[in-house]
Structure 1
């Protein structure tokens, strides 16, 4: 009888544990992710190979349940964020994920542009349409369009810029209907949507989408970057270095394992990122020997200062290198002695 009661207790406890793990709190938890070699991810056609590796560093971010929240509370390199610190106002989970993937795509485009221009190779752009990031509730697009859709035509006509698109919409009156052609999951569809005033600002008209320009970069030799479901913009510098290294004969890695994190602009300037402490932990675990961190022109609270503090705290031998631009990173690597 006691054995049966004990077994029943264990079953009930297991069910409660399983059920409670699916109850999410209004928080996100981030923790150290991975440091992954970029050479298998990035392939420049007929590109050069290096002796060492550039590495992509990530953090793991997810909704908090009771248990992950409790663990994060007592873990030094796990952080808890309120939902409004991570997601925009009224942004759904789907829209958040689409935004993250779009930022990754933009990061790849910027990296290719910088690397090819620094290698003195031509860069061209092909306009592909309008990328839908957000759907405004109770507006005409709600229930028809989805985040991630690509709008390619309005009233049967293609447009060549986001300005041309918005100018056309602004030329319409409330109640006018437009034909919207869009792509989703490799299928092309066309729907009719009415122009309507926005609830928050009646002076503005539209169909109710948050949008960005969707463009494709065209370069020779061709380059392919396979990031799968990795999102966010913070791999920009490391993408740029790996592409540039494959484009040029000089091996910048010189046998070292080199990690880093920051956004990159089309002019090669780098930007601050979040979670750098966790990325230092991930890079150290993966055996990185050098880590590039945004210097932010020597700001007292820069990513570099945070990274250096974490490196000292975990007692790593990894060299933390401050950089403000792509050229800073290249200059450092060119002076680096070949690893013996």
Structure 2
């Protein structure tokens, strides 16, 4: 009777501890293997060609750590723990981090479209839409007036054609000068007046206190639609470019294989390093991928490719790991790939 009582008491106490632990946030992030997701349902080129196999993006699951997730990550081979400053920028809020991740995803989609359409020799038109606010600096004039995600497209009633033009205009104002900014916030046009002030860490420069990037739109024919919902970050850009290009050309580059991969993509076709390559290998293997493209980083000893090969060996997968530095290298590999039997 006593043993049964103590067992129940221990079980209830453990369950209570785990429940309470899930509510205590720690100054860390935990990442774990996510999923390998087929790109054909996500990307649609109008009247694009079909494919026998699949291209897949790979993801990791990243979240703020609590006591429970921290302990579990400490005991797991393919979960990682990161301090806050390794994930978010200095003084960057959670909202600003999320906005930055979504913007990086948007930029990666644009770069992927640019690379794929240029490779297919299809013209691209560019439309400049203003500057996109990534973050707002505390104790600067924009604080409380602008938010991450706002798109500024007019200053003193005049449109500008680049972030450089906007920065030059603002930096040439005298401290104390008021400027009117017209911007879009969640689809609603708004206006605010902000006083230009010196930056706290450099009194010789003035500004309003925002981090920004160009916001531009690409126009292509045939049109391409990429549905990413709330997926953030730039690491799917390279795989986006492969899927888009494959729908633009008649030859099916998948050759019937399940092909996963990861890597950023720049408009000139260079493939860049990403985080969590080990976890993405695990996700791709679970999804049944047969080929995995990994950033080679020009043969660096600590490259994503070398880490991917080590993980593939550790989990004893039959998945073939392919090193790539550029979009053209990946296309050359796929062009030479034999059809799956």
Q: For the superposition of Structure 1 and Structure 2, which TM-score range results when normalised by the shorter chain?
A: over 0.9
SS of 1:311's equivalent in the other structure is helix
| Structure-1 residue corresponding to 2:218 | 217
Residues 53-112 of structure 1, C-alpha deviation per residue, up to 9 Å, x if partnerless? 000100011111001000111100001111111111000000011111111111111100
Count, aligned residues: 339
Q: Aligned equivalents of 2:42 and 2:176: distance in 1?
A: 48
Within 2, Cα distance between the matches of 1:155 and 1:273? 40
* SS in structure 1 of the partner of residue 203 of structure 2: coil
The structure-2 alpha-carbon separation of the partners of 1:156 and 1:72, relative to structure 1 and needing over 3 Å to count, comes to same
Displacement of 1:172 in angstroms is 1.1
- Alpha-carbon shift at residue 18 of structure 1 (Å): 3.1
What is the match of residue 77 of structure 2? 76
TM-score (norm 1): 0.96
Displacement of 1:17 in angstroms is 3.9
Displacement of 1:171: 2.1
Residue 248 (structure 2) pairs with residue 247 (structure 1) = yes
**Displacement, 1:19?**
3.5
Please report how far the alpha carbon of residue 4 of structure 1 lies from its aligned counterpart in structure 2 after TM superposition.
12
Paired position in structure 1 for 2:293: 292
**Structure-1 residue corresponding to 2:159:** 158
Q: In the TM superposition, what is the alpha-carbon distance from 1:170 to its structure 2 partner?
A: 1.7
Evaluate the alpha carbon distance shift between residue 10 and residue 77 of structure 1 in structure 2; reply closer, same or farther with a 3 A threshold.
closer
Structure 1 runs, 4 residues or longer, greater than 6 Å off: 2-13
Structure 2 partner of 1:279: 280
Q: Is the 8 A contact 2:18 2:68 kept in 1?
A: no
Change (3 A) 1:133 1:9: same
- Unmatched segments (≥5 aa) in structure 2: none
Residue 9 (structure 1) shift: 9.4
Which residue is equivalent to 1:328? Answer: 329
Retained in 1: the 8 A contact 2:296–2:324? yes
String of CA shifts for 1:17-52, please: whole Å, max 9, x gaps.
434312111111110000000000001011001001
Q: Deviations over 1:99-144 (max 9, x none)?
A: 1111111111110000000000011211011100010001111111
| 1-structure distance, mates of 2:324, 2:99 | 30
SS of aligned partner of 2:333: helix
Q: 1:304 to 1:6 in 2, by over 3 A?
A: closer
C-alpha separation between the residues in 1 aligned to 2:193 and 2:14?
Answer: 53
Matches within 5 A, 1:17-56: 17-56=18-57
Q: Given the alignment of the two structures, is residue 66 of structure 1 paired with residue 54 of structure 2, yes or no?
A: no
- Report the equivalent of 2:195: 194
Provide the secondary structure at the position in 1 that maps to 2:202. coil
Equivalent residue, structure 2, for 1:173: 174
Q: SS of the residue aligned with 2:109?
A: helix
Q: Residue 185 of structure 1 aligns with which residue?
A: 186
Q: After the TM superposition, which of the residue ranges 191-200 and 279-288 deviates more from structure 2?
A: 191-200
Greater CA drift, 134-143 or 3-12: 3-12
User: Aligned partners of 2:336, 2:239: CA distance in 1, in Å?
Assistant: 18
Cα distance in 2, alignment partners of residues 182 and 176 from structure 1: 19
Q: Take 2:144 and 2:16, find their aligned partners in 1: how far apart are those partners?
A: 36
Alignment of 1:87-126 (within 5 A): 87-126=88-127
Q: How far 1:296 moved relative to its partner?
A: 1.4
Give unmatched runs, 5+ long, in structure 1.
none
Supply the distance in 2 between the matched residues of 1:38 and 1:66 (Cα, whole angstroms). 35
Partners of 2:337 and 2:8 in 1: CA distance: 63
* 330-339 vs 7-16, greater mean Cα deviation: 7-16
